[in-house]
Structure formats: structure tokens, C-alpha cells
Structure 1
Amino acid sequence: MGQTEAQAGDSPTAPTLERDSGKAPRTAVLFPGMGRFDFATAGRFLVLDRYARHRLAIADEVLGFSVLERFHDAGADYSEYAQLAFLVASLAAADRAEDRFGMRPDVCAGASFGQKAAAAYAGSLDFPDVVRMTAELARCEREYFTTEHSDVVTHSVYRVPDEEFHALLAEMRDRGDWFDISGELDRGFYMVSLPESRLDAFIRAVRDLGGYSMYTMRPPVHARVFGPLRRKAEAEVFANYRIRAPRVPVISDADGTVVDSAEAMRTMLLDTFDRAIRWPDMVTSMAGLGVGTLYVTGADDMFHRLNSTARTFDVITVNPKNALRPGPPKLRSRAAA
């Protein structure tokens, strides 16, 4: 325990994919980041889907309580139990995509919270360990934000004109207002961490630019100032788990690099605390590897709809909203984007 395979002296690597050389298009699976997720939107899937029921039975045995019951009663978007249910739903959707629809991905990716599901799917962590780690990290973050940066939130904005938006950020910086870019999701689509006391003024400024606000995350995510949280999680949680090299190449959400070793996987999982996510870099990396079809497995209202996604890949979504419908999932062709 407490060692990656590389540290333990056994360091297999994932199969190496060459950059696209005119061969048949490859397939990738994306485990999306966690947006608003509650029992009303996902409960029916978790109760009725046989893949979800199987995953829940394992999670319940690991944790010693019913994830479904606690998720039903939690109410909070990002509670420990919502995170556990989201993890289960994401992997159950991938199980269904494999078993029912023949998904055989050459590449795996996880954006933000989706990294945990990606680590399990790629074989770097066993599912029971990912369940334990998810619960422990949720408690670790809750403890940290109780005393540190308790006034910080992460807010998502979209359709902002890039030049004017960066000018707004420069004005904030010149005034001494603290903020950090926590995510670049698409052209004009950003996640920004800032003090909650400045949130209303920021939303008004974005609106004045013609942009729109999406949602606010509490606790906040992916900011450089959260380095102490990274170190706390590494010492108190990650030290207890053996992380292996992935069986398939994984794409880092911080910069699009290919993760193919145990140490790189561990670093990627830790980077999520204090490095911004950059979806355009992930898209560029997957396209460069020859990915033509992208499965998005799990609850997702965003990544499969982004312009960069729709223009680059043929997209198939398998999620709690459509998984129980008869017939195969609908493919959204990039030719129609």
C-alpha cells in the first residue's frame, strides 16, 4: 500500500498509440466532469439499470451503507453521496456501452471528477478502491474547506467574447481582486474561482459583455491556491492506495498529455486539485491519436455539446437519461456540427 507500481519496481505501461497515420479511426471513451446531479435526474437509472445495480451492490459492501439511500436523502449537488452515485452511474454507463453497444475504446479520458471513473475503467485502480478513495477524498475536501478558502467558489461562464473577457480579468487583477482560471472548456467558456463576495459583481460584468453564467460550485475546484489541499490528499488518502499503469492510454485533463505509466496516473489524479482543466487540449490530443468516435458515458449536459467536441468527433452518449430507452444510442455525427 502507498506505492505506485513504478515505486514498487514493477512498471508496466499502457499500449503506446502512435499519432494518426491514416489508419482506421480510433474510439475513445470520456467520463465527464460532475455537474448538477441529484436523485430526481438519476434515481430511476440507478434503481432499474442492471449494470448500475451491480456496481451499487459492490459499493454498498465496500462502504457498509446504501449509497442509493444516502444519495436520495443527501440533497446537496456535490455531497459525498452524490459523488459516489455519480461514479457508479458513469461506470455503469460504460458497462452498458461495452456490453450492449460494442464499445471498445482505444483511448480513455476523464475530465475533472471523471478522472476517478477513468482510473477504474483503465485498470489503474480496482473499483472497490476507487469507491473508497472517492468517499475519503470527499471527506478530505470537506474538512479542508471548512477552515481554508471557505469563501471561494468556482463559477462557470460561457459565450463570453474572449478578448473582452480577458480584459475584464486584467481589470480585476489590477484592482487586487484574487481569481484563478479553473477551467478552459471551449472558446468563450471558462470556469473561474473567486471569492463568493465578488461573485455577484463578476456575474454582472460577464452579463455586460454579453456572456452567460451557468452554475456555481461549492466547494471550488482546480485552483493553484489549493496546493495545500493537494498535499493533504496525497498524504492522507493517496498514500493508502496502489496505483497501477493504465491498460489503455489515458488523456490528462490538465494539458492533453498521454498518461501511460503508474506515476503519470498518480500525478494526473493529484493535478486535479491545483491545475485547471483544459478540454481543448484533450480534444487536440485525442484527434492527434486518430480518435474519430467519442463515447461519453455518464451524466453529462456539457462536454458532448461543446463546439470543439461536436466538430471533431462522432459522439455517442450513454447516460442516465437515455440508457434505459430501447435501441442503440443515437450517434451525433461531426458532419452535422
Structure 2
Amino acid sequence: MSRAFIFPGQGSQSIGMGRELAEAYPAARAVFDEVDAALGEKLSTLIWEGEADKLTLTENAQPALMATSLAAMRALEAEGLKITDAAYVAGHSLGEYSALAAAGALSITDCAQLLRTRGRAMQEAVPVGEGAMAAILGLDIEAVRALAEEAAEGAVCQAANDNDPAQVVISGEKAAVERAAALAKEKGAKRALMLPVSAPFHSALMTPAAAVMEEALGKVNISAPAVPLVANVSAEAVSEPDRIRALLVEQVTGAVRWRESVAWMAGQGVDDFWEVGAGKALSGMVKRISREAATRNIGTPADVEAARAG
């Protein structure tokens, strides 16, 4: 089997994630310690003992999810399973940073600080209440793009996450997104759900955040990853550091082409996808994109042991 390691994005966070890994594996604990030091605060305490509302804040959720993914990766490595056992890495939105850190392209310290900056910049790009996102279920990407364009009426409304064949998330100005959600049923969608998010991610409204990230990414070292990254905005493999840097900037306003990314990996022979970190959202998407693919979740010591046992 050809394997890919995939890393979850925002929405997968939960209080207590990664704690068992940190207790069972010193290398996993060291990840949380490094993230705490990088941010100058005990993010690990918030992750394990804090309030869900505070963890859900974008500036906290992003580095927290990365820390949990990297802790899971270190636990796998402690059991002899390496990043180079995979043909590719990929991540959903912020998960792309986790993927790059797992593959050695970014240090954990730089990654944590970038994600704190990214979270704040994305939150501050649009005043609270002015932007929105909605999941459109039962329509493909082309139908949703047409729907978003029709509902925009001169405002920003665009397909933001092409998650799988039957789930596309739209993002933009609140009134336009609400119009699109109302129109979706008429266009044949099964459901249209407004999402409980604090900003219109992956839309043109994030342009101020892209400028912040361009500056921040320009100050960190990015190495060639140990295995190629399948990037969100290109849906194909990339290894060249300057190209990765440019794609991370583009990703702030660009769509997450997850369906195409998984299909591309499947087309290269990948048939085994390991979701490393919190939650199981990506595994469900993978199954809907590539029915023949096997999936595995790595979020607890029991998961790591099962992976080691084969």
C-alpha cells in the first residue's frame, strides 16, 4: 500500500486532545512544551483543562491542533513509524502547516508562532459579524460556484472549501452567504448549514491577513520537506521551499481544494490515508472521494499501538 499522512484543520479541536499521547510518550510531551515556550504561555493547559469557547478561538485552535498533530507524529516515530513511510503529506487549511512541520520543512517553534499570527490576522481581517461561512451539502463544486456567483450581487461570496463530492463550503460577506444558503435548496442542495465560525476564511475578505502572512513567512526558514506536500491551492505535490512559501500566502484567500488533493494522491497510487491528530473529519471526506481507500486515525496511544501492530 502507498500511504499519505493527512492533518486536520480547524473544527477538529476538543478539550483534552493529545493529553494521553503526552502522558504516554515523552517525545509527544516535548511537542506541547515547545509550543508553550514558543508562544510564551501554557497553551497545553488550555488544550487539556480549559474552556471549549476559548480553545475554539482561531488564534488558539490553530496552534493547538498543530501541537496535537505533531505530538501524534512523534508518538508514531517513537514506535518506529516514520514520515518517510508516506509518499505524501497534506493538511486541510491550517493542517498544511502541521504537515510541513511533520515533514521537517518548518520547525515546531516557527510553526506555532506562524499559526498564532495567522489566527489573529484572519480574525482581525473582518469585523465580527460581517462575514460568514456555510456548508452546502449535495451539490458539486461547479454548481456551488455558480450559486455563490448568483447570490453575491456584487458582494464577496465564493467557494472556500471543496471538501468532497457532496460538501462545499462557501465564504464571504454575511448577507451574501445567507442569500446563497437560502438559494441552495432551490438549486437542488440537500442542506445548507450556516457554520459557527468567527470569520469568512479562504475568501477575498482575508486579503489583509494574506499580507500579514506574507511578511511573517518571509522571516522564517522553510526547508524542503522530507516527503512532498500536496498543497491546498494547487492540489498537487510541491517540495521547493520558495514555492511552498508562496502557496501558504495564497492559501489565506484561496480555496482549499481538498477533494482534488485526495483524488490527485489516489491517482498517484495512494490507497492508505492516516489522519494524524484530533478528530476524524478528513477520514470521512477521503472515503467519499476515494471509496477504495483505507483510512486510519492517529489521535491516542491506542491508535499508535494499533498502527505499530499493523
Q: TM-score, normalised by structure 1?
A: 0.78
Pair 1:119-2:100 in alignment: yes
Q: Give 1:124 deviation, angstroms.
A: 1.2
Q: For 2:273 and 2:140, how far apart are their aligned partners in 1?
A: 28
Q: Structure 1, unaligned stretches of length 5 or more?
A: 1-24, 332-337
Indicate the residue corresponding to 1:158 in structure 2. 137
SS in 1 for 2:136: strand
Label 1:78 to 1:30 Cα distance change in 2 as closer, same or farther (>3 A): same
- Work out the CA distance in 2 between the residues paired with 1:242 and 1:192: 33
Q: Report the Cα offset of residue 100 of structure 1.
A: 3.2
Kindly state the Cα deviation for residue 69 of structure 1 after the two structures are TM-superposed.
Answer: 2.4
Contact kept? 2:280, 2:297, Cα under 8 Å:
no
Which ranges in structure 2 are unaligned for 5 or more consecutive residues? none
- Secondary structure at 1:91 match in 2: helix
Distance verdict in 2 for CA 1:295–1:161, change over 3 Å: closer
* Alpha-carbon separation, structure 2, partners of 1:158 and 1:221: 18
Distance 1:200 1:101, change over 3 A: farther
| Contact 1:161-1:211 within 8 A present in 2 as well | no
Q: Which residue, out of 36, 45, 53, partners 1:60?
A: 36
Please report how far the alpha carbon of residue 287 of structure 1 lies from its aligned counterpart in structure 2 after TM superposition: 1.8
Percent identity, aligned pairs only?
22
> Are 1:98 and 2:73 counterparts?
no
Q: How far off is 1:200 after superposition? A: 4.7
Equivalent of 2:198, from 197, 215, 218? 218
Residue of 176, 181, 204 corresponding to 2:159 = 181
- When residues 101 and 124 of structure 1 are mapped into structure 2, their CA distance, relative to the original with a 3 A threshold, is closer
Residue 285 of structure 1: aligned partner: 264
List aligned pairs for 1:77-92, cutoff 5 A.
77-92=56-71
Matches within 5 A, 1:138-153: 138-146=119-127, 151-153=130-132
SS in 2 for 1:112: coil
The alignment of Structure 1 onto Structure 2 pairs a total of residues equal to 300
- Within the candidate set 114, 117, 128, 1:133 is matched to 114
Residues 201-256 of structure 1: CA deviation (Å, up to 9, x unaligned)? 54444456422427332122111343332122212x12221212212111011121
Separation in 2, partners of 1:271, 1:46: 33
On the 8 A contact 1:156/1:216 being kept in 2, the answer is: no
Q: Work out whether residues 29 and 295 of structure 1, in 8 Å CA contact, stay in contact via their aligned partners in 2.
A: yes
Please name the residue that 1:193 is paired with: 171
Pair 1:298–1:326, CA change in 2 (3 A): closer
In structure 2, the CA distance between the partners of 1:215 and 1:98, relative to structure 1 (3 Å rule), is: farther
Shift of 1:145: 3.0
Q: CA RMSD in A?
A: 2.9
* Alignment partner, residue 21 of structure 1: none
Q: 1:31 corresponds to which residue?
A: 7
Shift in CA distance, 178/330, structure 1 to aligned 2, threshold 3 Å: farther
Any conservation in 1 of the 2:22–2:71 contact (CA below 8 Å)? no
Q: Which moved more, 1:30-39 or 1:204-213?
A: 204-213
- In structure 2, relative to structure 1, the CA distance for the partners of 1:84 and 1:246 (3 Å cut) is same
SS at match of 2:274: strand
Distance 1:43 1:191, change over 3 A: same
Per the alignment, in what secondary structure is the counterpart of residue 125 of structure 2? Answer: helix
Corresponding residue number in structure 2 for 1:253: 232
Residue 242 of structure 1 pairs with residue 217 of structure 2: no
Q: How far did 1:261 drift?
A: 0.6
Cα distance in 1 between the residues matched to 2:140 and 2:101: 38
- Within the alignment, does 1:48 sit opposite 2:23 as a pair? yes
Partner of 2:148: 169
Distance 1:142 1:283 in 2: 28
Determine the C-alpha separation between the residues in 2 that align with 1:163 and 1:105. Answer: 32
Is 1:38–1:75's contact at 8 Å kept on the other side of the alignment? no
Scaled by the length of structure 2, what TM-score is found? 0.84
Structure 1 residue identity aligned to 2:235? G
CA distance in 2, matches of 1:57, 1:228: 31
